[in-house]
Amino acid sequence: AQKVTQAQTEISVVEKEDVTLDCVYETRDTTYYLFWYKQPPSGELVFLIRRNSFDEQNEISGRYSWNFQKSTSSFNFTITASQVVDSAVYFCALSEGQAGTALIFGKGTTLSVSS
């Protein structure tokens, strides 16, 4: 069965600190996709990144970077030089197989960045 675990329920940092959000997944499929979404206090779900199981290249987008390691079934997310606007709930999600298939979300990590 597929499962996503985000062990960190809440993280608090001070502005300009770096922070890493952990995500561990379980799946029996060889083809799968991993996602990160951000949910700010306003409530919407904002797509951040998608990774497929055949592409283990790490990715950097501005202050955001992602580390995908199939050997440890992890897809971790690092925010460099955090800012107050980064305060949100971050969800890691997994999807297998075909179009129209559900996203399986982790429980989310609440990140609080104080000034």
Interface residues toward other proteins, by CB under 8 A: 33, 35, 37, 43-47, 50, 52, 91, 95, 97-108
Least Å from the CB of residue 39 to other proteins: 9
Q: Which is nearer to other proteins, 18 or 55 (CB)?
A: 55
- 16 DSSP assignment: T
Q: How far is the CB of 115 from other proteins (least distance, A)?
A: 25
In terms of Cα–Cα distance, which of 19, 8, 35 is closest to 101?
A: 35
Q: Judged by CB, which is closer to other proteins: 108, or 111?
A: 108
> For other proteins, which is the closer residue by CB, 104 or 113?
104
Q: By C-beta, is 35 or 75 nearer to other proteins? A: 35
What's the rounded Cα separation, in Å, for the pair 33 and 53? 6
Enter the DSSP assignment of 101: P
Those residues whose C-beta lies under 8 Å from the C-beta of residue 114, and which sit 6 or more positions away, are: 12, 13, 14, 15, 84
Positive or negative, the CA dihedral 40, 95, 23, 60 is negative
Q: Please state the closest distance from residue 43 (CB atom) to other proteins, in A.
A: 6
